[in-house]
Chain A
Amino acid sequence: MVHRMIAGIGTQLRKGVAEFCVLGELAREPMYGWQLASKLGDRGLVAGIGTLYPMLARLRADGLVQSYVAPSNEGPARKYYELTAAGAARIEEFRREWAPFVDAVNEAIGGPHA
């Protein structure tokens, strides 16, 4: 897992969107903790399991994610996380919001992307 903890700006940006990134990954397929932490860690979106598990707990408390236990491909039983219907709706809402938001920020900050 790549730990790319860029302090300051990166951290602030991540805080706003990290939970939606979790929802986005789970929208593709249910995953177990380590798998999710690896994927998001490789993208530099979470530092590791220390950040991920509290996020998952919040998402479960909010009814966006649920978990179940199932045998994994390698054999031992694992706890898998998946989106609930509410979670699927929420990530869809976020996708609709995100693109215009990125455009608006790009215009505001100027530079080569504007």
Chain B
Amino acid sequence: MRDVESNEPVGRYLADLDLALVVLPPATAADIREGVREELSGLDPDAARERIAQLGDPARIAAEARAEVDSVSAPRPTRTSTWYIVVTGVAFAISGFVPAGFSLLVGLVMLWVSPTWTRWEKWLATLAPGGTAVVAGVIVAGIAAPQAADSGVIVSVALSAGAVALSAANVVIGILLVVVGVRRVGIAGRGAAGAADRPSPTEPVRSVGQKE
């Protein structure tokens, strides 16, 4: 519904809300966001401002939701626990310094089987280091080519650059995975991923007054 977001105070409020809701499980955040968006749609700017004032600070909404979710959920599933997140991140970060690629493999497996990170984040963590390495290698090869005596030198310099870039990128990815993961599920033992997040059944669309 474009008219909602094009209404400036509404668009800003929704953006602030999205930022605040990032600490919640994705399904809870989506429910709240959709409910607020629904409430603010179709209002003129003054009514919208008033409703936004009634809704209040997005940070408070997120904090309330967090408290509500945490108060009832079961202990967090292993794959979203803090130590799991940290081990995954460390596995990525040290992969450039540990021989045989074992660490990276462990990190990738742990990453993909955990619900902590979104699909997009998983693909990014998997592909970005390799992509960075390729880009670095190509750039260095491009720089070295006019000056190098033979192609063997170019290749080896490019490979070295690629390897360094790969290690560095994996350190960054490892840190990011830990930061994003811990922010998302929280540090305290009681988190919400899994317990409160069951997907809702598809909702039928009905006209007013008519129910199945």
- With A68-B205, A79-B38 in contact, do A51 and B65 touch (Cβ < 8 Å)? yes
Residue pair B38, A57 in contact (C-beta under 8 Å): no
Q: How many B residues touch the partner, as a band?
A: 35 or more
The contact of A50 among B34, B60, B201, by CB within 8 Å, is B60
> For residue B54, which residue of chain A has the nearest CB?
A1
- With A51-B64, A70-B205 in contact, do A33 and B27 touch (Cβ < 8 Å)? no
Residue pair A49, B61 in contact (C-beta under 8 Å): yes
Is B28 in the interface zone, CB < 8 Å from A? yes
Task: Count CB-based A-B contacts (< 8 Å).
Answer: 90
Over the window 51-82 of chain B, the binary record of Cβ atoms lying under 8 Å from chain A Cβ atoms (1 yes, 0 no) is: 00011100011111101110110000000000
Is A39 in the interface zone, CB < 8 Å from B? no
The smallest beta-carbon distance between A50 and chain B, in angstroms, is 3
Residue pair A61, B38 in contact (C-beta under 8 Å): no
Residue pair A34, B39 in contact (C-beta under 8 Å): yes
Residue pair A48, B61 in contact (C-beta under 8 Å): yes
The smallest beta-carbon distance between B203 and chain A, in angstroms, is 5
The 10 closest A-B pairs by CB, nearest first: A50-B64, A50-B61, A33-B35, A50-B65, A61-B198, A76-B42, A54-B68, A34-B39, A53-B31, A53-B32
Over the window 158-187 of chain B, the binary record of Cβ atoms lying under 8 Å from chain A Cβ atoms (1 yes, 0 no) is: 000000000000000000000000000000
The contact of A79 among B27, B42, B203, by CB within 8 Å, is B203
The smallest beta-carbon distance between B138 and chain A, in angstroms, is 48
The smallest beta-carbon distance between A76 and chain B, in angstroms, is 4
Residue pair B196, A50 in contact (C-beta under 8 Å): no
Residue pair A56, B31 in contact (C-beta under 8 Å): yes
Over the window 37-75 of chain A, the binary record of Cβ atoms lying under 8 Å from chain B Cβ atoms (1 yes, 0 no) is: 000000000011111011111101100001111110011
Is A20 in the interface zone, CB < 8 Å from B? no
Q: Beyond the given A54-B65, A67-B200, please list 5 additional residue pairs across the A-B interface where CB-CB is below 8 A.
A: A53-B35, A54-B72, A69-B203, A70-B208, A71-B208
Is A15 in the interface zone, CB < 8 Å from B? yes
Over the window 18-53 of chain B, the binary record of Cβ atoms lying under 8 Å from chain A Cβ atoms (1 yes, 0 no) is: 000000000110011011101101100000000000
- With A68-B204, A74-B42 in contact, do A55 and B35 touch (Cβ < 8 Å)? no
The smallest beta-carbon distance between B82 and chain A, in angstroms, is 21
Interfacial chain A residues near B6, Cβ < 8 Å? none
- With A15-B71, A50-B65 in contact, do A76 and B41 touch (Cβ < 8 Å)? yes
Q: How far is the CA of A51 from the CA of B55 in the complex (A)?
A: 12
Q: How far is the CA of A57 from the CA of B53 in the complex (A)?
A: 25
Interfacial chain B residues near A75, Cβ < 8 Å? 42
Interfacial chain B residues near A55, Cβ < 8 Å? 68
Residue pair A49, B206 in contact (C-beta under 8 Å): no
23 example contacts (A-B, Cβ-Cβ < 8 A) are as follows A33-B38, A34-B38, A34-B39, A47-B64, A48-B61, A48-B64, A49-B32, A50-B32, A53-B28, A53-B32, A54-B28, A57-B28, A57-B31, A57-B197, A58-B196, A67-B200, A68-B203, A68-B204, A69-B203, A69-B205, A71-B207, A77-B38, A79-B34
